[in-house]
Amino acid sequence: MATKKFLYVNRKAPYGTIYALESLEVVLIGAAFEQDVSLVFMDDGVFQLTKGQNAKSAGMKNFSPTYAALGDYDVNKIYVDKESLEERGLTLDDLQHLTWEDENEDWAEKDSIRLVTRAEIAEIMDTQDVVLSF
């Protein structure tokens, strides 16, 4: 099977619409296809990664713990748009600490999240074969 560069662009808040949850489902199922996967979180999408989510009073399932499993699926290129964070008064400290283990370096734990500028996101998009936006 050909290997392509898949980019999933997450632009919406985790609750209020189902886009974030159904995007995560695609990423997890897509992991079985052994493609080169990257995720971008921008606009309200940055809220998907915030820690301490509690969706109980909204009557929704809190699916945010699932993001921590992405590293186990070899999904470790997670780009967060710096400007989107700043516009919403968030910093990296407000987000979950997502990590993965690098088997080539004796399973060293590494950060999955990379803070990038909007201009860098444009460059990342430019290098992809498939861009799925949610």
Interacting residue ranges for another protein, rule: CB under 8 A: 1-2, 4, 6, 18-19, 22, 25-26, 29-30, 32-33, 35, 129-134
Smallest gap from residue 35 Cβ to another protein (A): 7
Smallest gap from residue 23 Cβ to another protein (A): 9
* Cross-sheet strand order for the sheet of 5-10: 113-116, 78-81, 36-41, 5-10, 130-133
The residue among 3 and 91 lying less far from another protein, judged by its C-beta, is 3
The answer to whether 78 and 86 are in contact (CB under 8 A) is: no
Distance from C-alpha of 41 to C-alpha of 62, rounded to nearest angstrom: 18
The residue among 26 and 58 lying less far from another protein, judged by its C-beta, is 26
The answer to whether 64 and 53 are in contact (CB under 8 A) is: yes
Smallest gap from residue 133 Cβ to another protein (A): 6
Smallest gap from residue 22 Cβ to another protein (A): 6
Distance from C-alpha of 26 to C-alpha of 45, rounded to nearest angstrom: 16
Q: Which of 2, 38, 3, 22 is nearest to 134 (CA)?
A: 22
The residue among 31 and 68 lying less far from another protein, judged by its C-beta, is 31
The residue among 36 and 101 lying less far from another protein, judged by its C-beta, is 36
